[in-house]
């Protein structure tokens, strides 16, 4: 799942802070990738969940198409962020694995940090993929897939 926050939620009422699904893309039989606007932009997981796709021991939980759809979160100056799939669309939270391994060049995350938001996370003792591209390839995306070409981690 990827999310995109489009508004400052601090000045809006509770009804306006509810996340809205902007786009839903199927990713295999039992999965989809959602683009969500709104919600609380600083909400994030503190450690990767049991089947977090960033965890090396969770390879194969999600289909390759999910990684193609969410690759834009790893593009230079990306405004979409990678959300925790377990949190769901109703209460989107930034994924801890993403914050640890995939958010260094994400504009939305960088702006949150500049605003002083505490985005502290821990890996919980789990081995994580080194980059978005490494995670996607481990989950069945071809290394030369066009969706991965703009991933910032591919150019370092």
Q: Mind giving me the DSSP string for 97-151?
A: HHHHHT-TTBHHHHHHHHTT-------TT--B-SSHHHHHHHTT--TT-TTTTTB
pTM above 0.85, yes or no: no
Distance CA 45, CA 135 (A): 19
Count of domains forming the chain: 1
Highest mean pLDDT among 1-15, 110-124, 127-141: 127-141
- Burial class of residue 156 in the structure, from the number of CB atoms within 10 Å of its CB (0-12 exposed, 13-18 middle, 19+ buried): exposed
Domain span holding position 20: 2-151
Summarize the chain as % helix, strand, coil (round to 5): 30, 15, 55
pLDDT tens digit sequence for 42-92: 688 999 999 999 999 999 999 999 999 999 999 989 888 888 888 877 778
Domain assignment present for residue 156? The answer is: no
Question: What is the predicted pLDDT for the residue at 83?
Answer: 86
Confidence tier at 143 by pLDDT (50, 70, 90): very high
């Amino acid at each position: 799942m990827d999310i995109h926050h489009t508004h400052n939620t601090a000045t809006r009422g509770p009804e306006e802070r509810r996340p809205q699904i902007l786009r839903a893309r199927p990713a295999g039989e039992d999965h989809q990738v959602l683009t969500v606007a709104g919600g609380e932009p600083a909400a994030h997981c503190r450690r990767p969940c049991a089947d977090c796709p960033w965890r090396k021991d969770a390879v194969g939980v999600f289909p390759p198409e999910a990684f193609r759809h969410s690759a834009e979160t790893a593009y230079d100056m990306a405004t979409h962020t990678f959300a925790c799939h377990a949190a769901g669309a109703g209460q989107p939270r930034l994924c801890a694995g993403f914050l640890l391994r995939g958010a260094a060049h994400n504009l939305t995350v960088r702006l949150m940090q500049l605003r002083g938001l505490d985005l502290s996370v821990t890996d919980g003792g789990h081995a994580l993929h080194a980059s978005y591209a490494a995670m996607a390839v481990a989950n069945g995306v071809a290394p030369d897939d066009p969706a991965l070409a703009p991933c910032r981690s591919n150019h370092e």
